[in-house]
Amino acid sequence: MSIADKVLAVNNDLPIRTDKPVHSGKVRSVYWLTATDSQRLIRERGYDVPSDTPLAIMVISDRISAFDCIWKGEGGIGGVPGKGAALNAISNHWFKLFRENGLADSHILEIPHPFVWIVQKAKPVKIEAIARQYITGSMWRAYAKGEREFCGIRLPEGLAKDQKLDGLLITPSTKGILEGIPGVPAQDDVNISRQNIEDNFAAFNFVSVEDIDLYEKLLKDGFNVISEELAKLDQMFVDTKFEFGYVTDKNGNEKLIYMDEVGTPDSSRIWDSVVFREQGKIVENSKEGFRQFLLNHFPDPDILLNKDRMDEREALARDNELPLSAIQMVTDTYVGIAEKITGEKIHLSDNPKAEIVQILKDEFKLVD
């Protein structure tokens, strides 16, 4: 069986019963179940949600996105073997720890397969909640050009690249294009201050001003839980992105929860502590290693960094197949860090799509 067969590159064509269009993101596809199937599963599986809650099947893929483009390997390989299973395993591990530490729930109700989550409908908070423990990446690039204020927070002079910050820095940005908010440009991924959020909390989908404090607490507490666990594995939690939303429990109580994924190599920077401590060098255990590969692989890295050259960037991703050695590097990174974090082997399926369909058909009666 070829590598391409083991990669789940297309995940929006599964025969899951639905009466709505399948929503496909860069990595995941979401299948909204019919009201009948949602109510049946809530009853049969005993989920802690109101009986009329819409449910969805969320299927991860092995696709790899970077610089807002999807990349492929030689021979038409549309993703990275093991990546999807690794991402879900890591998120599942952290969500479980969050619950055990009394932080907050997630939108996940059940995990029928390593690639699949059954989730409840949530009202997303329209913020990319980013927390940083070190100055690196885009923040360092801006700092090196002379910027000192980030999301309403002023950084001191004299910081060095990859230096640890005095405290955990929260630098939120907009999720999606939000219009009509004073002082916030109508663009995706725009840095915003806490004051912006407080002044317009309802526009960001917060129920109350007080919930801004709660979101910051959940962000910091979640970051610290992951950071402490990674430190035990000689790994550094450098920065990460969390997403939040609201759901309603069986008793009708609305609560703020973690959404999407947490603490993964896709949403975070994770560095090897030993190499950093002993040699002052960075060994990435996250997607950043793949981004660096792309910047070195193509002769004009400005195409990847310059938002004004998006057409050229999309052509680059469309017209180039990356060497298999680069794909294998990403597999090694993702599977390696997932197995470290979870303490369990990541199972690489020979045919993940067939497995998913079989389980959803036999156990959940969601495939005709």
Report the C-alpha gap between 172 and 178 in whole angstroms.
14
Question: What pLDDT is attached to residue 1?
Answer: 55
Q: Where are the beta strands (DSSP E) in 77-183?
A: 108-113, 116-120, 123-124, 127-134, 149-150, 153-154, 164-170, 173-174
Residue 252: inside a domain: no
Per DSSP (E only), the strands in 199-317 are 235-248, 254-259, 268-272
Q: What are phi and psi of 169, to 5 degrees?
A: -100, 125
- Residue 305 located in a structural domain: no
Domain membership flag for residue 73: yes
CB 287 within 8 A of CB 66: yes
Q: What is residue 302's predicted lDDT score, i.e. its pLDDT? A: 96
* Domain extent for 76: 3-122+350-362
How many whole angstroms separate alpha carbon 337 and alpha carbon 347?
14
Residue 23 inside a domain? The answer is yes
Alpha helices in 101-251 (DSSP H): 137-144, 194-199, 210-232
What confidence score (pLDDT) does residue 2 get?
67
Q: So what's the pLDDT on residue 76?
A: 86
Is 73 in contact with 324 (CB distance < 8 Å)? yes
Closest to 218 measured CA to CA, from 245, 254, 248: 245
Can you give the pLDDT of all 368 residues of the chain as single tens digits? 567 778 999 999 999 999 999 999 999 999 999 999 999 999 999 999 999 999 999 999 999 999 999 999 999 899 999 999 999 999 999 999 999 999 999 999 999 999 999 999 999 999 999 999 999 988 999 999 999 999 999 999 999 999 999 999 999 999 988 988 988 998 888 999 999 999 999 999 999 999 999 999 999 999 999 999 999 999 999 999 999 999 999 998 999 999 999 999 999 999 999 999 999 999 999 999 999 999 999 999 999 999 899 999 999 999 999 999 999 999 999 999 999 999 999 988 889 999 999 999 999 999 99
CA distances from 292 to 301, 331, 364 (A): 10, 15, 42
Question: What span, in angstroms and rounded, lies between the C-alpha atoms of 185 and 36?
Answer: 41
pLDDT score for 189: 86
Supply the pLDDT for residue 354. Answer: 93
Q: What is the CATH number of the domain that holds 96?
A: 3.30.200.20
Nearest alpha-carbon partner for 133 in 193, 233, 222:
222
Residue 188, pLDDT score? 85
Q: Is residue 225 part of a domain?
A: no
Residue 26 lies in a domain: yes
Cβ-count burial 82-120 (b if 16+ within 10 Å, e if not):
bbbbbbbbbbbbbbebbeeeebbbbbbbeebbbbbbbbb
- Nearest partner of 73 among 290, 321, 328, judged by Cα: 321
- Please state the pTM of the whole predicted model: 0.95
Do residues 86 and 76 lie in contact, with contact meaning Cβ atoms separated by under 8 Å?
no
In a domain, 33, yes or no: yes
Task: Count up the domains in the chain and report the number.
Answer: 1
Answer yes or no: is 79 within a domain.
yes
Closest CA relative to residue 31, chosen from 41, 42, 43, 21: 21
